[in-house]
Amino acid sequence: MEQEKRRPWRRWVVLALLIVGFYLGELFVPVQPEITVAPEKLIEEPIFENFLGFAGPLYLVNTMPTLILTVILIVLFAYAVNRSLKKSAQTDFVPRGIGNVTETILEVIYNMTEGAAGKWVKTIFPWFATIMIYVLFANLMKLIPGFESIGVLHHAQGEGHARELLVGNWYLFTAEKGEYILAPFFRGISVDLNFTFTLALIAVIGIQVVGFRAQGMGYLTKFLNFGGVFKKPVFGVIDMFMGILELISEFAKILSFAFRLFGNMFAGMVLISVFGALLGKISIVPAGIYLFELFIGIIQAFVFGILTMVFMVMATQGHGEEHAKH
């Protein structure tokens, strides 16, 4: 049987891209952007002078357009999946394309949740799947070319960059020092602490909702366990303090969720910015960092979702069930 001759054309494509990247790095010198923790303002004037009557001025920051774009992309993604599954249902009931991939991923998530949650799988699975998919979109959005590199120029308060006219009203930064800084049109929402904190708050509230749904008002005894203080003076006091520690740990989950996601994704943004500016001509190194950041974005979405699922499973179990298992 004659073997098919291998044509390693992909290697030539990679080599061609490396050469093009080296040439573009010579033509357009990469400049390290200003790295800030807070999202940048796109316009200096606030949208609302006193938002909600008590929150103070609300500015248009560059994570707001990203948030809207993320929601639009998720809706389009859901529409494409629904259309693919309907099309397969009208033919041979065999899902193909994006419908097949999505169904496979959701089936894996469902089986994972069922193995841990048991009868509460239908309650916990929507939380797990929704949070993981949304965080995945949020993490991967900032890897799209143009994110955090195209925006509006502002006068720098301190050290900035010089600019040169490209065409029309479009400018390029140069390596020389100047008076301008860039506020990108789009910034990844997972590197905005407001977003990660809000998502963490939603996840922790969801954990409490599942706990009350599973145990009713008895769920409060997990935190306010004063019933055994007089019956068992020593162990009752221990149980009381354990309940207080459980209550503190619930609030600590908000900080843990928020700063874990924010810290990992912000570190990736800094890494890409620094390597892109220092090694712009050697494009293989920034490309490797992008691949690494892609891997980290997927892992962090899974970790956020799986921790939410695990804490929800723990919330469905009362102290009696735990002692019985032991």
Rounded-to-integer distance, Cα 228 and Cα 224, Å = 11
pLDDT, residue 50, reads 79
> Cβ of 33: how many Cβ atoms within 10 Å?
22
Q: What is the pTM of this model?
A: 0.82
pLDDT, residue 245, reads 85
pLDDT, residue 240, reads 75
pLDDT, residue 227, reads 63
Tens of pLDDT, residues 89-148:
777 777 778 888 888 889 999 999 999 888 899 999 999 999 999 999 999 888 887 788
Tens of pLDDT, residues 222-243:
877 766 656 666 666 777 777 7
- In which residue ranges of the chain is pLDDT below 50? 1-2, 320-326
pLDDT, residue 109, reads 92
Write out the H or E segment, with its range, that includes residue 133: helix 121-141
Q: Among all chains, which residue has been given the structure tokens 């810290």?
A: 263
pLDDT, residue 322, reads 45
Q: Among all chains, which residue has been given the structure tokens 């769920």?
A: 219
pLDDT, residue 147, reads 83
CB 215 within 8 A of CB 180: no
Q: Between the CA of residue 62 and those of 46, 67, 68, 150, what are the distances in Å? A: 13, 9, 11, 11
